[in-house]
A and B are shown apart, each in its own frame.
Chain A
Amino acid sequence: MGVDSNNILEVKNIEVVYDNVILALHDVSLVVPKGKIVALLGANGAGKSTTLKSISTMLASERGKVTKGTINYNGKSIDGEIPSQMVHRGMVQVLEGRRCFGHLTVEENIIAGAYSRQLSKGDLSAELEKIYTYFTRLKDRRGSQAGFTSGGEQQMIAVARAMMAKPTMLLLDEPSMGLAPQLVAEIFNIVKELNQKEGVSILLAEQNTNIALKNADYGYILETGRVMLEGTAQSLSNDEKVKELYLGISKGERKNFRDALFDDAQKKNTTAPSPTGRKFKIGGPILEVKNISLYFGGVKAITNISFNILKHEIRAIIGPNGAGKSSMLNCINGIYQPQEGTIWYKGAVLDQITPNLISRMGISRTFQNLALFKRMSVLDNILVGRKLHTKSNFMQVGFQFPQAVKEEKANRQKCEEIISFLEIEDIKNTQVGKLPYGLQKKVELGRALATQAEILLLDEPMAGMNVEEKRDMCRFILKVNDELGTTIVLIEHDMGVVMDISDRVVVLDYGKSIGDGTPDVVRANPKVIDAYLGVAHD
């Protein structure tokens, strides 16, 4: 058990407990050799972030504690250290979700990274220039307020900021989260370059197994707080088990996604969308968008878009980041009022609509970045969705009028049904904020279902999920559509999943519609291929 001087980091058998009760890591051991990139893989809630935070000592700020095991960094234990001391010792963590200082400029953000160092003015600007050579895109935006830069730029800011502390080791938490493929590639190129030119050792937590293994030297796969598998990046990416777990099953084996989900479910002994298809046949148009344009000041977010949504169908709106997908959804449910064009719902023009009104008319939605009541239980969150169907007022409820009691019972009954429909009975009384992300998304879906809407608008229901969780979500979306007949409109930027479950797809790029039709038609459309593979637009 001697300290190996070739390893910059050695983690041995650590156990981590949150709030004195919740066991997050059971027995995790890993090493990072000097100058290497090591990937930490696994689903949401597997313990990746917890592992990184144990190492950077940021754990204490979340009421977590390393209760067993040892962590040695640069040959010395990290016992009793606090984050600012770890930075002095040359270890910097880039937190999950980028966490830029939104009100500071891009350059101020980066300079803040050098806080722990005593630099003269000249040295500081020399360091800054050096950082800009890696992050050329940031140099152009140095004066902008960081909160208004794109997700990819914010990720770059976070990495650049960390580099200003001149680390010997970087802990990167989910740098690819929620970013379009080209951007992820760009960021990983920079990370690789930093590793090679600056000699920084890197421990990288990623859900995107593919890109992580492409760039790492070695990998560990975590599952529910334990290391399940480890090996060189090469051996892991060829491992059948890994392929099945995280990369999805190889293409070609799968003719019908519904059938496949059915097989999955049988293995797990749960219900699946019926393989024979849906109970409700697709009908005529229920919602029509006609020549919509939306501006923010002088910026055109949406230009002259038209499409329709048929009753009982699953309709996807896809497109790269910034294509106008969320804006489109916001127009449909009345958050934005488009300056031009009309939206027709059940044969009538939707005019002067508000989100409140629209949900009364039977259109419900979920949000990209979750809008749940974090301190309430799952059941209570879903009950909120029943508000629309509650007629008794607070006095009647307060004094327990018979009619109010009856209504309350009916509402609870309905919610119980939804909970069992979504197979979340076991977490019914859990506080939502404590659930992993994937489950929270499911609760949000449950709340939208509770409104008994005719149309569900789902904003990136699968963002930030791994392949397994995505498949699970797909299963429920199909189930809702099959069994309840709910019309579903969903936004995604991951093409693969959408193509499998949608009846028809409309593709947006730079606020314009560039394709509309069945998945096969859209897939073959050269404009769509361009937009996704990043062939030059100009």
Chain B
Amino acid sequence: MISELLFFMEVLVAGLLSGTMYSLVALGFVLIYKASSTFNFAQGAMVFFAVLSFVGLMEFGIPFFVAFIITVVLMIGVGLATERLVLRPLMNQSEDTLLMATIGLGFVLEGLAQAVWGVEVRRLDLGIKDSPIPWIADNLQLFISALDVTAGLVATAMIVGLTLLFKYTKIGLGLRSVADDAGAASSIGIPLKHIMLLVWSAAGVVALVAGMMWGARAGVQFALIDLALKALPVLIIGGFSSIPGAIIGGLLIGASEKILEVYIGPYFGGGIEGWAPYVLAIFFLLYRPEGLFGEKIIRRV
């Protein structure tokens, strides 16, 4: 009995922690959705591009922190170029047009990353082992991966930081204004291009961090792009425009997919982890389309 309970706890905790990794990816989507009301299909490619560049730089023998800083600058550059070459010419076009443009941007980034760094799978060593933490294993009988815990901590820190930024800084207020009504925001002098630049750069940095966490676990490879699409059910559940939503959505998906896999998976011959989150998302679309924390559409009849 006790061991069953412990096992369940272990599955749950592992699920929640891997959920924070989903949250990290989803965070990048939320940032851009808030500012441009568009789902950024290039986010997955940004994750891949960022972490591949980071690993590539490390392979040149550049130290960890220097490589990190260079990649951050690089991602800001990507943000700058995106604002300049994609967003600005498409200003005042419909959201659908912008959505298509992000798909295109995704292909460009994917191609660019592979052209520069090659196609082979690389290993990323953060110096954190993806194995149970001995202390917890000994004292609580729970096997929890150190990498999961680190990812959880990093995700929490980023989320707290971004929330504070939005809530209490001037630029955050500007961003929320643009998210609400870009036309009205520009009428009172909020410069849209600065806000866009900021948001895309922030999304780039978030992509880098998410990519590092995922890359350390699964290897830096093309499949990261598909993995990032797991953020879609996370966002549907949490709400596209909500940072807390991204977190809770991530945790829910992480925990439920692990639990379903372990307890129900065998009946389906296993491997339900891949699609169970989407089934969950469909239920949300049917019964609560704005997600748990999404902004309700305020509309009078």
A interface residue numbers (CB < 8 A to B)? 56, 58, 60-63, 83-84, 86-88, 92-95, 99-104, 108, 111-113, 115-116, 147-148, 158, 161-162, 164-165, 326, 330, 335, 367-369
Chain B residues whose CB sits within 8 angstroms of the CB of A93 once the complex forms: 187
- What 1/0 flags go to B276-301 for Cβ under 8 Å of A? 00000000000000000001001011
Does B187 contact A116, Cβ atoms closer than 8 Å? no
**Pairs across A and B, CB under 8 Å, 13 listed:** A62-B92, A83-B187, A84-B191, A86-B189, A101-B176, A101-B185, A103-B180, A112-B185, A112-B188, A115-B188, A116-B190, A164-B188, A326-B301
The distance in angstroms between the C-alpha atoms of A109 and B69, with both chains bound, is 36
Q: A95-B184, A100-B184, A161-B188 are in contact. List 9 more A-B contacts (CB 8 A).
A: A58-B183, A61-B183, A61-B186, A104-B176, A111-B173, A116-B189, A147-B298, A165-B189, A369-B300
- What 1/0 flags go to B153-184 for Cβ under 8 Å of A? 00000000000000000100110110111011
Q: Given the known A-B contacts A102-B298, A112-B177, are A61 and B188 also in contact in the complex, defined by CB atoms under 8 Å?
A: no
Residue of B nearest to A112 (CB): B177
Chain B count of residues within 8 A CB distance of the other chain: 24
Nearest-Cβ distance from residue B157 to partner chain A, whole angstroms: 25
The distance in angstroms between the C-alpha atoms of A86 and B187, with both chains bound, is 9
- What 1/0 flags go to B187-214 for Cβ under 8 Å of A? 1111110000000000000000000000
Does A58 contact B176, Cβ atoms closer than 8 Å? no
Q: Given the known A-B contacts A61-B91, A63-B92, are A101 and B181 also in contact in the complex, defined by CB atoms under 8 Å?
A: yes
Q: Which of B92, B174, B181, B187 contacts A56 (CB 8 A)?
A: B187
Chain B residues whose CB sits within 8 angstroms of the CB of A102 once the complex forms: 180-181, 298
Q: Given the known A-B contacts A58-B183, A95-B184, A367-B301, are A103 and B176 also in contact in the complex, defined by CB atoms under 8 Å?
A: yes
Interface residues of chain B: helix, strand, loop or mixed (majority) = helix
Does A99 contact B184, Cβ atoms closer than 8 Å? yes
Chain A residues whose CB sits within 8 angstroms of the CB of B173 once the complex forms: 104, 108, 111-112, 115
Nearest-Cβ distance from residue B271 to partner chain A, whole angstroms: 38
The distance in angstroms between the C-alpha atoms of A164 and B190, with both chains bound, is 13
The distance in angstroms between the C-alpha atoms of A102 and B177, with both chains bound, is 9
Chain A residues whose CB sits within 8 angstroms of the CB of B174 once the complex forms: 112, 115
Does B301 contact A92, Cβ atoms closer than 8 Å? no
Residue of B nearest to A83 (CB): B186
The distance in angstroms between the C-alpha atoms of A330 and B180, with both chains bound, is 28
Does B183 contact A115, Cβ atoms closer than 8 Å? no
- What 1/0 flags go to B115-144 for Cβ under 8 Å of A? 000000000000000000000000000000
Q: Given the known A-B contacts A61-B92, A101-B176, are A115 and B190 also in contact in the complex, defined by CB atoms under 8 Å?
A: yes
Does B186 contact A113, Cβ atoms closer than 8 Å? no
Does A116 contact B184, Cβ atoms closer than 8 Å? no
Does A335 contact B301, Cβ atoms closer than 8 Å? yes
Chain A residues whose CB sits within 8 angstroms of the CB of B298 once the complex forms: 102, 147-148
Does A83 contact B301, Cβ atoms closer than 8 Å? no
Chain A residues whose CB sits within 8 angstroms of the CB of B170 once the complex forms: 115
The distance in angstroms between the C-alpha atoms of A92 and B184, with both chains bound, is 11
The distance in angstroms between the C-alpha atoms of A158 and B181, with both chains bound, is 12
Residue of A nearest to B93 (CB): A63
The distance in angstroms between the C-alpha atoms of A12 and B186, with both chains bound, is 25
What are the nearest 3 A-B pairs in CB distance? A87-B189, A116-B189, A99-B184
Q: Which of A113, A330, A368 contacts B188 (CB 8 A)?
A: A113
Chain A residues whose CB sits within 8 angstroms of the CB of B188 once the complex forms: 87, 92, 112-113, 115-116, 161-162, 164-165
Nearest-Cβ distance from residue A505 to partner chain B, whole angstroms: 23
Does B187 contact A112, Cβ atoms closer than 8 Å? no
Q: Which of B180, B185, B189, B300 contacts A92 (CB 8 A)?
A: B189
Of A101, A102, A113, chain B has the most CB atoms within 10 Å of the CB of A101
Chain A residues whose CB sits within 8 angstroms of the CB of B192 once the complex forms: 84
Nearest-Cβ distance from residue A73 to partner chain B, whole angstroms: 15
The distance in angstroms between the C-alpha atoms of A83 and B188, with both chains bound, is 8
The distance in angstroms between the C-alpha atoms of A152 and B66, with both chains bound, is 55
The distance in angstroms between the C-alpha atoms of A104 and B181, with both chains bound, is 11
The distance in angstroms between the C-alpha atoms of A147 and B187, with both chains bound, is 18
Does A112 contact B183, Cβ atoms closer than 8 Å? no
Does A83 contact B177, Cβ atoms closer than 8 Å? no
Residues of B43-60 contacting chain A, CB below 8 A: none
Chain A residues whose CB sits within 8 angstroms of the CB of B177 once the complex forms: 101, 104, 112, 115
Q: Which of B92, B189, B301 contacts A84 (CB 8 A)?
A: B189
Of A61, A62, A112, A161, chain B has the most CB atoms within 10 Å of the CB of A112
Of A113, A335, A367, chain B has the most CB atoms within 10 Å of the CB of A113
Does B92 contact A83, Cβ atoms closer than 8 Å? no
The distance in angstroms between the C-alpha atoms of A165 and B190, with both chains bound, is 11
Does A99 contact B176, Cβ atoms closer than 8 Å? no
Does A115 contact B189, Cβ atoms closer than 8 Å? yes
Residue of B nearest to A56 (CB): B187
Does B301 contact A330, Cβ atoms closer than 8 Å? yes
Does A112 contact B92, Cβ atoms closer than 8 Å? no
Nearest-Cβ distance from residue B62 to partner chain A, whole angstroms: 39
The distance in angstroms between the C-alpha atoms of A500 and B91, with both chains bound, is 47
The distance in angstroms between the C-alpha atoms of A100 and B181, with both chains bound, is 8
The distance in angstroms between the C-alpha atoms of A104 and B170, with both chains bound, is 13
Residue of A nearest to B298 (CB): A147
Residue of B nearest to A333 (CB): B301
Residue of A nearest to B180 (CB): A101
Residue of A nearest to B189 (CB): A87
Chain B residues whose CB sits within 8 angstroms of the CB of A113 once the complex forms: 188
Chain B residues whose CB sits within 8 angstroms of the CB of A162 once the complex forms: 187-188
Chain B residues whose CB sits within 8 angstroms of the CB of A164 once the complex forms: 188
Does B92 contact A99, Cβ atoms closer than 8 Å? no
The distance in angstroms between the C-alpha atoms of A161 and B187, with both chains bound, is 10
Chain B residues whose CB sits within 8 angstroms of the CB of A330 once the complex forms: 301
The distance in angstroms between the C-alpha atoms of A95 and B181, with both chains bound, is 11
Does A95 contact B183, Cβ atoms closer than 8 Å? yes
The distance in angstroms between the C-alpha atoms of A91 and B246, with both chains bound, is 39
The distance in angstroms between the C-alpha atoms of A498 and B176, with both chains bound, is 42
Nearest-Cβ distance from residue B211 to partner chain A, whole angstroms: 31
Chain B residues whose CB sits within 8 angstroms of the CB of A61 once the complex forms: 91-92, 183, 186
Nearest-Cβ distance from residue B166 to partner chain A, whole angstroms: 11
The distance in angstroms between the C-alpha atoms of A84 and B189, with both chains bound, is 4
Nearest-Cβ distance from residue A94 to partner chain B, whole angstroms: 8
Residues of B13-65 contacting chain A, CB below 8 A: none
